[in-house]
Chain A
């Protein structure tokens, strides 16, 4: 089932992702752009991504299975902040159906 997102919600999700990495990695928000590489430039890791996902779960009440998400990420890895924003929007929109969605 697909959930329609308002522009405000999309902005909120983008802000949440950028703010999350800024806080976790101790980096000024202004230094984070869509093409910022999470591992190489921010020293982020899988645990950080899971913590972000937990925040998304709580905030938007989504229940995507990690196995489904891992399957999706093996096909289409997300290494930049912009890609994670895009992925997070897709998770909130599609939940477990994300594995069938062409991003």
Chain B
């Protein structure tokens, strides 16, 4: 490697990466019938998950995304400001970031790679800033 700065295909600098894994069954909504953790999942995120064929997969991926994002930025943030709306057919997702988390964490964009295997969900999040100096 000749450079310490990685870039995304949108021209932003890679600020950090995080990974998290969780068991999908832990997000089973059959008991509650709704958002299992309202402090964690936003109404938009929860509504999206409940519309999926497997809501637990959506909640699990969204949770892993928030945990992986936290590992990448190493700063506290409001979980509702970092949303993942799972598309079961897609591997790569844009993470929806609110203005507060962008400002406080110095992040311009984030993308999540989601994979499921044997009841487990693994999410890798790449976090990008506008310039390497924002790191």
Residues of A within 8 A of B (CB): 46-47, 50-51, 53-54, 57, 65-68, 70-71, 74
Other-chain contact of B38, A54, A68, A70, A74 (Cβ < 8 Å)? A54
Other-chain contact of B76, A53, A57, A71 (Cβ < 8 Å)? A71
| CA gap between A71 and B105 in the complex, in Å | 13
Residue B37 is within 8 A (CB to CB) of chain A in the complex: yes
| CA gap between A57 and B37 in the complex, in Å | 10
Query: Chain B contact residues: over half helix, strand or loop, or mixed?
Result: loop
Q: Would A47 and B76 count as touching, CB distance under 8 A?
A: no
List, in ascending order, chain B residues with CB within 8 A of A51's CB.
36-37
Residue B128 is within 8 A (CB to CB) of chain A in the complex: no
**Apart from A66-B40, A74-B76, what are 7 other A-B pairs with CB-CB below 8 Å?**
A50-B37, A51-B37, A54-B39, A65-B78, A66-B78, A67-B76, A71-B76
Annotate B33-65 by CB proximity to A: 1 below 8 A, 0 otherwise. 000111110000000000000000000000100
Q: Would B67 and A46 count as touching, CB distance under 8 A?
A: yes
Closest CB in chain B relative to A92 CB, distance in Å = 15
| CA gap between A14 and B32 in the complex, in Å | 24
| Nearest 10 A/B pairs, CB to CB | A70-B76, A71-B76, A67-B78, A67-B76, A66-B39, A54-B37, A50-B37, A66-B79, A67-B77, A50-B40
Closest to B81 in A: A67
Residues of B within 8 A of A (CB): 22, 26, 36-40, 63, 67, 70, 76-79
Q: How many A-B residue pairs have CB under 8 A?
A: 31
Query: Chain A contact residues: over half helix, strand or loop, or mixed?
Result: helix
Closest CB in chain B relative to A58 CB, distance in Å = 10
What are 12 inter-chain pairs, A to B, with CB distance below 8 A? A46-B67, A47-B26, A50-B37, A50-B40, A53-B39, A54-B37, A57-B39, A67-B78, A67-B79, A68-B76, A71-B76, A74-B76
| CA gap between A70 and B36 in the complex, in Å | 19
List, in ascending order, chain B residues with CB within 8 A of A46's CB.
67
Closest CB in chain A relative to B130 CB, distance in Å = 23
Closest to B39 in A: A66
List, in ascending order, chain B residues with CB within 8 A of A57's CB.
39
Q: Would A47 and B63 count as touching, CB distance under 8 A?
A: yes
List, in ascending order, chain A residues with CB within 8 A of B40's CB.
50, 66
